[in-house]
Each structure stands twice: as C-alpha cells, then as structure tokens.
C-alpha cells in the first residue's frame, strides 16, 4: 500500500471500492436490501445489529461469529438480514462520500483507505458466512411426555381448580375429562387383553 498523500493510495482505494462493489452484488443477489423496508423493520435491524456489535466487542470476537451464536435458524436468518441491511447502508454512505470527495477534488488519505478496508473486511466475512449457511447444531426439544412423568397424579385437577375463575376454565375441564377417559379406557383395554391371553394359554 502506498503512503498517505502519495499518488498510489488512490489506486489502492479504487481497488477496494471495486472489490466492495463486487461483494455487495454477490451478497444482495441482484436485490436492493434498502428497498421495501418499513421504518419499524429498520429500527429492529438497527437495534439487533447494535446489540450484536456490542456483544462482539465484549467477547473479543468478530461480528459474524455473534451472528452464528444461536441454535435457532430463524434467529440466524434475522441476524443475517439485519447485518446485510447495515452493510448495504454503510456501502451507500461510503459511495456518497466518495462522490462528494471526488467533486471537491479531495485526495485520498490513510484514514479514507482504512474505512474502505474495514468495510471490505466486513463484506468478505458476511459473504463467507452466507456461502456456508446456518451450520449450528439445533438443540433437541425436551420431551413433553418425559416432563409429565414428574407431575403428581392429580395435576390436571389442580390446574382445573386454579383456572376455575379464568376464561380457560371450561377448556381445562374438558382436557382433564378427556385425559381421564383415555386413562380409564387404557386400563380397561389392558385388563381385557390380559384376560384374553389367559384364556388362550389355558
């Protein structure tokens, strides 16, 4: 890289601008992520991305590592969309500033070069993660049936008592009666099968 103030730094910056533009086209895949985004979505993206940046700074890792730090694919894709919007916004701002500097015949300096280099690094990291996709292993959901084993035998009755004055009182009562009917049917069926087996063996 050329030193600040030397003519060669212009070529360095121009090369970064071209590389960044190629990454943006690959990342956005022909679509403009800045279009058709509501004000609420923009606020959500800004809040989410700011939180990810702060977590990355506290943990000493990079932004894309924080994007992947989830076991839910829905959270991962939302984070990717938020970061993509942030990068597209940053790219647009840099291009606008580049046009302004060009019109003012302002020469590139080391700080301007670093801004483009950092932007290019973020775009490259995003594109690499985008190609890999969601690779975190999902956590298995806890079995509801296994969790019910630790409840007392009258847990349905207890729920009905607690919900008796609420809007779900009748629904809880019906569910309890249906469960009791299934249990009763199961005991009757088991008894009949046992008796049938005894008859067949005799």
The pLDDT tens digits of the residues spanning 142-152 come to 555 556 666 77
Taking each helix axis from N to C end, the angle separating 73-103 and 39-59, rounded to the nearest 10 degrees, works out to: 100
Predicted local distance difference test score (pLDDT) of residue 185:
47
Name the domain boundary from 88, 108, 132: 132
| 23-49 pLDDT per residue, tens | 999 998 878 888 878 889 989 999 999
Question: Which of 49-53, 131-135, 190-194 holds the top average pLDDT?
Answer: 49-53
pLDDT confidence of 97, banded at 50, 70, 90?
very high
Q: 157 CB contacts (<8 Å, ≥6 apart)?
A: 176
Same domain, 41 and 105: yes
Neighbouring residues of 95: CB distance < 8 A, sequence distance ≥ 6? 17
- Does residue 171 register a pLDDT over 80? no
Give percent helix, percent strand, percent coil of the chain, each to the nearest 5. Answer: 75, 0, 25
Q: Are residues 99 and 38 in the same domain?
A: yes
Q: Domain limits at 119?
A: 8-132
Confidence of residue 163 (pLDDT cuts 50, 70, 90): confident
103 falls within a domain: yes
Task: Assess if residue 137 is contained within a domain.
Answer: no
Domain for residue 13, yes or no? yes
Any domain includes 138: no
Q: What's the whole-number mean pLDDT along residues 156-184?
A: 68
Confidence of residue 122 (pLDDT cuts 50, 70, 90): very high
Q: Which of 103, 132, 161 is the last residue of a domain?
A: 132
Q: Are 16 and 120 in contact, with CB atoms under 8 Å apart?
A: yes
- Both 125 and 36 in a single domain? yes
73 and 154 share a domain?
no
Residues 152 and 93 in one domain: no
Mean pLDDT, rounded, for 69-73: 89
Q: Do residues 124 and 153 share a domain?
A: no
> Is residue 102 pLDDT above 80, yes or no?
yes
Residue 175 is given by DSSP the state H
pTM over 0.95: no
**How far, in Å, CA of 16 to CA of 24, rounded?**
12
Which range in 68-82, 160-174, 186-200 is most confidently predicted, on average pLDDT?
A: 68-82
Check: CB of residue 37 under 8 Å from CB of residue 85: yes
> Structurally, how many domains does the chain consist of?
2
- Same structural domain, 12 and 32: yes
Considering the domain architecture, whether residues 115 and 150 belong to the same structural domain is answered as no
Same domain, 31 and 83: yes
**Do 101 and 21 have their domain in common?**
yes
- Asked, for residue 77, whether it belongs to a domain, the answer is yes
Of 132, 154, 189, the last residue of a domain is 132
Confidence of residue 98 (pLDDT cuts 50, 70, 90): very high
The candidate with the shortest Cα–Cα distance to 118, out of 44, 59, 62, 52, is 62
Same domain, yes or no, for 13 and 68? Answer: yes
Residues 110 and 54 in one domain: yes
């Amino acid at each position: 890289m050329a030193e600040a103030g030397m003519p060669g730094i212009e070529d360095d910056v121009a090369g970064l601008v071209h590389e960044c533009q190629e990454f943006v086209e690959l990342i956005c895949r022909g679509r403009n992520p800045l279009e058709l985004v509501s004000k609420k979505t923009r606020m959500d993206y800004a809040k989410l991305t700011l939180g990810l940046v702060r977590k990355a700074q506290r943990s000493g890792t990079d932004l894309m590592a924080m994007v992947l730090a989830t076991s839910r694919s829905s959270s991962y894709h939302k984070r990717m969309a938020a970061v993509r919007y942030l990068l597209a916004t940053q790219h647009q701002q840099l291009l606008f500033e580049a046009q302004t500097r060009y019109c003012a015949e302002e020469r590139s300096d080391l700080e301007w070069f670093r801004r483009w280099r950092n932007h290019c690094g973020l775009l490259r990291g995003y594109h690499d993660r985008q190609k890999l996709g969601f690779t975190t292993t999902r956590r298995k959901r806890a079995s509801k049936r296994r969790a019910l084993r630790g409840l007392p035998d009258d847990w349905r009755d207890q729920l009905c008592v607690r919900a008796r004055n609420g809007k779900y009182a009748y629904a809880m009562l019906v569910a309890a009666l249906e469960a009791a009917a299934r249990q009763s049917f199961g005991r009757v069926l088991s008894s009949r099968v046992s008796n049938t087996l005894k008859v067949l063996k005799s």
